[in-house]
Amino acid sequence: MASVTFDKATRIYPGADHPAVDQLDLKIEDGEFLVLVGPSGCGKSTSLRMLAGLEDVNAGRIFIGDRDVTDVQPKNRDIAMVFQNYALYPHMTVRDNMGFALKIAGKPKDEIKQRVEEAAKILDLTPYLDRKPKALSGGQRQRVAMGRAIVRKPQVFLMDEPLSNLDAKLRVQTRTQIASLQRSLGVTTVYVTHDQTEALTMGDRIAVLKDGLLQQVGTPRDMYDRPENEFVAGFIGSPAMNLGKFTIDGDVAKLGTAVVPLKRETLDAVVPEDEGKITIGFRPEALRLVDSSVAGTIPIEVQLVEELGSDAYIYGKLAGAAEGHGLGSGVEGGGEQLVVRVPPNSAPAIGSVIYAEIKEGHQHNFSYSTGKRLPD
């Protein structure tokens, strides 16, 4: 096994006016499961393809272990890749699909058989070894693609959105299988997805990309509890964090009819470039419903209630505020719909107005001018 290092790796496509991946600095430890996540076009798949040798590196270097593989051919990098589409040979059996790369490499038949049967046992594919792909379900085909990678015993697994073609229930089941499989094999794995729920549930660490730039690297808990900037705050979490741009008035921040208290440490970190404004975020579960007489609240007009059994979500808008205020759930305050999580069977009636305050320690403050995190 081996670690993976991106050393200021950059990829610029011909004719592009900015890099698809811009000076990526990232160290993936030996045996670690790292998830690259971000919106479409952020550079995550390009980063993976650079590591695989399928894209040129225009500047910087890439290492697998201590070996510089920047200019090494893909077949000589000792990596195995699992794609979004299964890419199985339809005329071959599961056994032959899984062992094909070993056959091409000239491995002995006995060794191929042993490795294929070992991988099939791990993946619960033993009963299907003599079937062809058309006789398998989507989840089984994806496991065959996984098996084809496992039998090669590579130093690094690369997975490019391998669950995208599966239905919702199968996706949940397969992602737990992949995560537990990686931990049992201990192979360094780089996994690309646009689904932040996959990222939070599967990875030892997550790397968030935007416009080719690395935004933050950390554990799932780090990402959720202490996002380093406004983009990560709005991207990680489902439902997304509520975000809005408030005006500072003394020791409180105001946006329309919403009033949020600010601590002295936060106020001291505000600079002239912020123009007296601050971006404040709070997750749906970070709000506490209070009486209308309480000072410093966020009044919300209830528009929709989702009862999910274990939880309920209130969707609403800032009560009494003019349109265009921008306080809502999503990346960088991309809408004006607020989300509040409450216990089941406790949601108020649609059309009523509730008053909420942010729980102590659950308020996220960001610079209005830079988007970077401010002290809490």
Gyration radius (Cα) of the chain, Å? 24
Question: How close are the terminal C-alpha atoms of the chain, in Å?
Answer: 41
Cα–Cα distance for residue pair 327/325, rounded to 1 Å: 6
Structural domain that includes position 196: 4-233
Residue with tokens 């005006």: 247
Torsions phi, psi of 223, nearest 5? -60, -40
Identify the pLDDT of residue 66: 94
375 assigned to some structural domain: no
Give the pLDDT score at 331.
Answer: 56
CA distance 143 to 120: 9
H-state helical runs in 186-229: 196-202, 220-225
Residue 290 and residue 219 in one domain: no
Number of structural domains the chain divides into: 2
Question: In terms of domains, do 206 and 295 share one?
Answer: no
The answer to whether position 292 is within a domain reads: yes
373 belongs to a structural domain: no
146 and 53 in a common domain: yes
Are 31 and 143 within one domain? yes
* In a shared domain, residues 260 and 197: no
In a shared domain, residues 183 and 263: no
Q: Which residues, other chains included, contact 360 with Cβ-Cβ below 8 Å and sequence gap of 6+?
A: none
* One domain, residues 326 and 226: no
Are both 91 and 192 inside the same structural domain?
yes
pLDDT given at position 223: 94
- Give 11-15 contacts, CB < 8 A, sequence gap 24+: 11/43, 11/46, 11/47, 11/50, 11/55, 11/56, 11/57, 11/58, 12/58
Tally of CB atoms within 10 A around 47:
27
In this structure, are 202 and 343 located in the same domain? no
Choose the final residue of a domain: 218, 233, 248.
Answer: 233
| Domain termination site, one of 233, 263, 298 | 233
47 and 142 fall within a common domain: yes
In this prediction, residue 332 carries a pLDDT of: 53
| Residues 173 and 277 grouped into a single domain | no
Identify the bridge partners of residue 189 per DSSP, sorted by sequence position: 33, 157
Asked, for residue 187, whether it belongs to a domain, the answer is yes
Residue 64: which CATH number? 3.40.50.300
Domain boundary residue, one of 216, 233, 250: 233
Which tens digit of pLDDT belongs to each residue from 149-190?
999 889 999 999 988 878 888 888 888 888 888 998 899 999
**DSSP-based helix, strand, coil % in the chain, nearest 5:** 30, 30, 40
Q: Give the pLDDT of residue 333.
A: 46
**Residue 133 belongs to some domain of the structure:** yes
Per-residue pLDDT of the chain (376 residues; tens, 9 = 90+): 799 999 999 999 999 999 999 999 999 999 999 999 999 999 999 999 999 999 999 999 999 999 999 999 998 999 999 888 888 999 999 999 999 989 998 999 999 999 999 999 888 899 999 999 999 988 899 889 989 999 988 999 999 998 887 888 888 888 888 888 899 889 999 999 988 889 999 999 999 999 999 999 999 999 999 999 999 999 999 889 999 999 999 999 999 999 999 999 999 999 999 999 999 999 999 999 999 899 889 999 999 999 988 889 999 999 988 888 889 987 554 578 999 999 988 889 999 999 999 999 999 999 999 999 999 8
* Residue type at position 54: L
309-367 pLDDT per residue, tens:
888 999 999 998 888 888 998 755 457 899 999 998 888 999 999 999 999 999 999 99
Q: Is residue 51 part of a domain?
A: yes
Looking up residue 254, the CATH number of its domain turns out to be: 2.40.50.140
